């Protein structure tokens, strides 16, 4: 395999919408409130979020390999380190490079937004490393969904809004919760698919702790609760009929829920994983349009 192809697969491009969606939503809400878009903070935030996710994905790739979690029985997409496409040293170096690029973006964002961005940036970088790094990785416990909900929902949407307005509102935080729930659903699909292998390898995810029936209910809640909370969002910031825009993709959410429930755990869940990440981007896009219009 070509080295460029190996790196492309290692960064997991199908998951990157999870980092872009909250930036899109936070900026759209800020435009609704202020009538302005600050393009440099927007671009720096978008690239910073992408680099943090790429770094997290690469640390996950090498971390799972070194811990022996990525075995030949793995059901998910092939990983660069486990397949021998790239050495652990190179993948780890790539992860640190991605974090360094995110840090460079953060320097400008800190100059623009001040100390709150210092806190958000350092916390995001630290959490990205701790997701698979350290003696007690987040991904090896039951808090993976909570981690994603927090950092790819509340923090990312709220931070993107703050960079545009230097303020924070309940509307931005609630919208962050909606986006974060769909981001958490992506992790739920991943952990549900890998439940059996994770249990054998001591990876005590929420799926391992609760079992498949409970995870089916959790996934259903993660997919539908953002829609159920749209009326509350409308109470905070009246959007007229445009608040109904996200409901146009509700049938896709039902299709995913049915696929999740009916599909036997296996490689077919890789398609459900990609569709769930794509659904989050569609929902974020529709929600953003509701604020823009």
Q: Where are the domains of the chain?
A: 3-292
Q: How many CB atoms lie within 10 A of CB 71?
A: 12
Tens of pLDDT, residue by residue over 255-289, are 999 999 999 888 889 999 999 999 999 999 999 99
Which of 82, 50, 52, 45 has the alpha carbon at shortest distance from 64? 82
Tens of pLDDT, residue by residue over 217-249, are 999 999 999 999 999 999 999 988 898 999 999
Nearest-angstrom CA–CA distance, 146 and 133:
17
Dump the DSSP string for 155-192. HHHHHHHHHHHS---HHHHHHHHHHHHHHHHHHHHHHH
CATH of 3-292, one of 2.60.40, 3.40.50, 1.20.1630, 1.10.600: 1.10.600
Nearest-angstrom CA–CA distance, 227 and 249:
10
Per-residue pLDDT at 65: 83
Q: Are 283 and 184 in contact (CB under 8 A)?
A: no
The CA–CA distances, whole Å, from 20 to 49, 61, 86, 213 equal 7, 21, 27, 31
pLDDT confidence band for 173 (50 / 70 / 90): very high
Tens of pLDDT, residue by residue over 47-79, are 999 999 999 999 988 988 888 776 656 667 788
Per-residue pLDDT at 63: 84
């Amino acid at each position: 395999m070509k080295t460029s192809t190996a790196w492309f697969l290692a960064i997991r491009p199908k998951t990157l919408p999870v980092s872009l969606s909250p930036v899109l939503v936070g900026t759209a809400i800020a435009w609704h409130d202020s009538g302005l878009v600050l393009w440099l903070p927007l671009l720096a935030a978008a690239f910073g979020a992408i680099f943090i996710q790429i770094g997290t994905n690469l640390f996950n790739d090498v971390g799972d390999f070194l811990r022996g979690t990525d075995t030949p029985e793995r059901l998910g997409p092939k990983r660069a380190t486990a397949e021998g496409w790239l050495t652990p040293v190179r993948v780890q170096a790539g992860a640190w490079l991605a974090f360094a690029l995110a840090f460079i973006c953060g320097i400008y964002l800190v100059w623009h937004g001040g100390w709150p961005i210092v806190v958000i940036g350092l916390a995001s970088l630290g959490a990205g490393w701790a997701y698979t790094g350290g003696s007690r990785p987040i991904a090896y416990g039951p808090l993976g969904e909570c981690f994603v909900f927090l950092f790819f929902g509340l923090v990312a949407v709220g931070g993107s809004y703050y960079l545009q307005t230097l303020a924070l509102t309940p509307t931005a935080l609630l919208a962050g919760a909606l986006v974060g729930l769909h981001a958490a659903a992506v992790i739920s699909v991943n952990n549900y698919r890998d439940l059996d292998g994770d249990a054998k390898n001591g990876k005590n995810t929420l799926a391992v702790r609760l079992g498949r029936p409970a995870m089916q209910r959790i996934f259903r809640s993660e997919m539908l609760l953002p829609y159920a909370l749209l009326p509350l969002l409308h109470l905070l910031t009246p959007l007229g009929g445009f608040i109904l825009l996200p409901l146009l993709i509700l049938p896709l959410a039902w299709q995913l829920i049915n696929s999740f429930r009916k599909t036997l755990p296996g490689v077919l869940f890789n398609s459900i994983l990609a569709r769930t990440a794509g659904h989050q981007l569609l929902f974020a896009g529709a929600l953003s349009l509701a604020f823009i219009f």
